[in-house]
Structure 1
Amino acid sequence: MTHSSVFETDKFLLDNPNDLISIEKWQKTVNLLAKLFDAPAGFLVQHTSAGFQVTIASEQASNPYPAGVVIEPEVNIFCRKIVETGEELYVANAQIDPGWDTNPEVYKDGFTSYLGVPVFWPNGKVFGTFCVMDFKQTDYQETYLELIRHLKDILEADLSMLGLYEQMQKLAITDPLCGINNRRGFSVLAEQRIRLAQRTQGRLGLIYIDVDDFKSINDLHGHNVGDDVLQHLARTLEECVRHSDVIGRMGGDEFVALVVMEQDDDLNKIEQRIITAIVAGAANVGLPEYALSIGHVKVDLQLDLMSMLDSADKAMLIRKQQKTH
């Protein structure tokens, strides 16, 4: 199922810019780092599965690495050591340490000294490194280590803001009981999916689901069991649709799914899959047997989402009424 995310920790920020991040502020921070250390090069380097990318490079003629440079993940560079250990690294003289003989920053570009600290995403994963490099041997005292730690806090504060924003956005679009999209979240993602289908001439279907006699479940078994039924239905929906489909809880015991259609009978097949999974699954987790009323419509891409939801809802109500007559 489709959920949205504010940041992707395995994508380079330079390729995936975010309005919440001030690259200009980060540039000033890196420039300040190099200036205070009287170093020819300072960097903020991001690590992903694709390797190490210089996100920010200090703006000096002496700095050989511009922003945007990507180094392969297996290359023996200083930043790789920090990402692997999650710890600070200070190498005063790499020229006399055989462990760095294969480091191109040393044997190719002539760097001798390196001081770097890890920078973390708000979820605890290593974002990358904040570091200074020098062509000569250095002797940084503890005050310098404290300085680089304080400066990296500025960078991490911005990343933390991304995390907080993601949490707020998730709360705004996620149903707290079932963990799937709420009405707002479904509407936002469904609109995106419909626009995509309009561009690609895709076919979509809308499925509307209601739990039969849900009030009776609450009355007979208690509201905790009623909540368990709703959570079970949400999990079952997740299992019965594709990852690219959009599901949501519209409120109460009503759920919807916007699904990609490849064949005319796809909606009937998905519907049957949901019903079969509910019947088999409820007993397995100790829930009382419950039934669903399901209606569906093929999406008319010329209509607005609310009109389509209304049509699917009416199709579901017709099914429900047919059961009682």
Structure 2
Amino acid sequence: MPLKPAIDPEQWILDSPNDLISLTKWQRTVNLLAKLFDAPAGFLVQHTSSGYQVAIASEQQTNPYNAGMVVEPEANIFCRKIVETRQSLYVANATIDPCWDSNPEVHKDGFRSYLGVPVFWPNGKAFGTFCVLDYRETNYDDTYFELIEQLRDILEADLSLLELYLQMQKLAVTDPLTELNNRRGFSSLAQQRILLAKRMGSRLGVFYLDIDKFKQINDTHGHAVGDNVLIDMAKAMRHCVRSSDVIGRMGGDEFVALVLIEQDSDFEAIATRFTEQFAQYSESDLPLYTVTIGYADVDLTMEVENILALADQDMYQHKTP
């Protein structure tokens, strides 16, 4: 099962800086664009469902827009046209084209000329635009189009590098079949959750879950069906826990959950919720399966592996031969 993109295309780049993207380099690229075009303004604009944000603005007194400025998604701006069509756009003189009469860049800020190219995330989704604007009518030839596309490629290369790096990070801590945390990912998050519980004075419980007779499911129905059972169980587990809880697949048919506990009765209540959810959530075309559950009260001074061992031991005490 392919992993989802590591980058959230709905998150502003300016709100989630990453060491792999040099905003300083991007700034130099946008400044160079404006300089080579002898234009008063150049931009890298990001698009999300929230609108269009100026991620980078050329550093000139003639530029009326600063980085961080957001334009509403329905505004009749040049960048919107590019994002919707996924095509480059050149407008030599917007004042003679009625379709731009409601464009605030034209009737409010006085821009006449626009040249922009689309910028894409590695997965093909539109990131936004790389563009240059001028208060004068322009007459750009093919050389200018080649130039802006070459500079755009520099920005897209950075986005590809970031996606690749984050994807590799995700692969290191994520089980590719179920998309739950793998052992490494669970241990890392569990350590953080335990530290938080210490500071907050809260109580945690750990649950160890094992699918009964899973080898028999694989032998009888095939490994593809067995994989679907594992995916089904992961989906059910997600429905049983809070967003602050930590769940993971340890390998094979073994799963774990680190959850907030408020009183002793919560252990049985949560175990029952897991059992009922598996029965309810299981897909109709999958073989019926049951799960053995063990749990332990978390000693916040213990290492994660030792905590898991206690819950594992409790699970095997309940396991039917």
Question: What TM-score, normalized by structure 2, do the two folds share?
Answer: 0.88
Match for residue 235 of structure 2?
235
The aligned amino acid for 2:11 is K
Cα distance change of structure 1 residues 196 and 101 upon mapping to structure 2, 3 Å threshold: farther
Which amino acid counterpart does residue 134 of structure 2 have in structure 1?
Answer: D
Note the C-alpha offset of 1:226. Answer: 4.0
Residue 139 (structure 1) shift? 0.8
Conserved 8 A contact 2:207-2:258 = yes
Could you tell which deviates more after superposition, 50-59 or 222-231?
222-231
The aligned residue for residue 313 of structure 2 is: 314
8 Å CA contact 2:6, 2:167 repeated in 1: no
1:122 aligns to what SS in structure 2? Answer: coil
Aligned positions of 1:202-221 closer than 5 A? 202-218=202-218
> SS at 2:124's partner residue?
coil
- More deviation in 128-137 or 225-234? 225-234
Q: 1:10 to 1:280 in 2, by over 3 A?
A: closer
Aligned to 1:258: 258
AA matched with 1:293: T
Cα deviation digits, residues 48-72 of structure 1 (max 9, x gap): 2332221111122222222222222
Q: Distance in 1 between matches of 2:269 and 2:4?
A: 27
> Could you say if the C-alpha distance between residues 74 and 225 of structure 1 is closer, same or farther in structure 2, counting changes exceeding 3 Å?
closer
Residue identity in the other structure for 2:98: P
Partner residue, 1:247: 247
What SS does the aligned partner of 2:15 have?
Answer: coil
Cα distance, 1:200 vs structure 2:
4.1
Secondary structure at 1:46's aligned position in 2?
strand
Q: SS of 2:188's equivalent?
A: helix
The aligned counterpart of 2:145 is 145
State the 1:231 CA deviation. 3.3
The residue aligned with 1:93 is 93
How far apart, in 2, do the equivalents of 1:73 and 1:225 lie?
Answer: 44
**Alpha-carbon deviations, 1:57-96, whole Å to 9, x = none?**
1122222222222222222221122222222111111112
- Specify the SS of the correspondent of 1:136: coil
Q: Deviations over 1:129-165 (max 9, x none)?
A: 1000001000111221121111101101111112212
Match in the other structure for 2:303: 304
Contact 2:206 2:258 in 1 (8 A): yes
Alignment of 1:22-101 (within 5 A): 22-101=22-101
When normalised by structure 1's length, the TM-score is 0.87
Whichever residue aligns with residue 310 of structure 2, its letter is S
> How far apart are the structure 1 equivalents of 2:75 and 2:265?
52
Match of 2:162 in 1: 162
Q: Return the offset for 1:5.
A: 7.7
- Going from structure 1 to structure 2, the CA distance change for 1:57 and 1:223 (only over 3 Å counts) comes to closer
Aligned equivalents of 1:58 and 1:78: distance in 2?
Answer: 17
After TM superposition, give the deviation of residue 35 of structure 1 in Å. 1.4
Aligned mates of 2:177, 2:11 — CA distance in 1: 31
The answer (yes or no) to whether the contact 2:229–2:286 under 8 Å persists in 1 is no
Q: Percent identity?
A: 62
Number of residues of Structure 1 aligned to a counterpart in Structure 2: 319
Letter in 1 for 2:247: I
Does the 8 A contact of 1:43 with 1:131 survive in 2? yes
- Asked if the contact 2:6/2:170 (under 8 Å) is kept, the reply is no
- How far is the alpha carbon of 1:244 from its aligned partner? 4.4
Indicate conservation of the 8 Å contact 2:57/2:67, yes or no.
yes
Give the 3 Å change call, closer, same or farther, for CA 9–197 of structure 1 in structure 2.
farther
Query: Residues 178 and 11 from structure 1, CA distance in 2 versus in 1: closer, same or farther, beyond 3 angstroms?
Result: closer
Give the residue type in structure 1 aligned to 2:315.
M
Bigger drift between 61-70 and 126-135 goes to 61-70
Change (3 A) 1:156 1:207: same
Q: Which stretch shows the higher mean deviation, 130-139 or 120-129? A: 120-129
- For structure 1, which segment, 171-180 or 148-157, has the greater mean C-alpha deviation from structure 2 after superposition? 171-180
Aligned to 2:173: 173
Maintained 8 Å contact 2:45/2:129: yes
1:123–1:163 contact (8 Å) kept in structure 2: no
CA distance in structure 2 between the partners assigned to 1:15 and 1:97 by the alignment: 36
RMSD: 2.6
Q: For 1:207-231, what per-residue CA distance to the aligned partner results, in whole angstroms no more than 9, with x for missing partners? A: 1012334444445555455444433
Q: Secondary structure at the match of 1:240?
A: coil
Query: Residue in 1 aligned with 2:116?
Result: 116
Q: Which amino acid aligns with 1:291?
A: T
Q: Distance in 2 between matches of 1:199 and 1:133?
A: 53
Residue aligned with 1:124, SS:
coil
SS in 2 for 1:20: coil
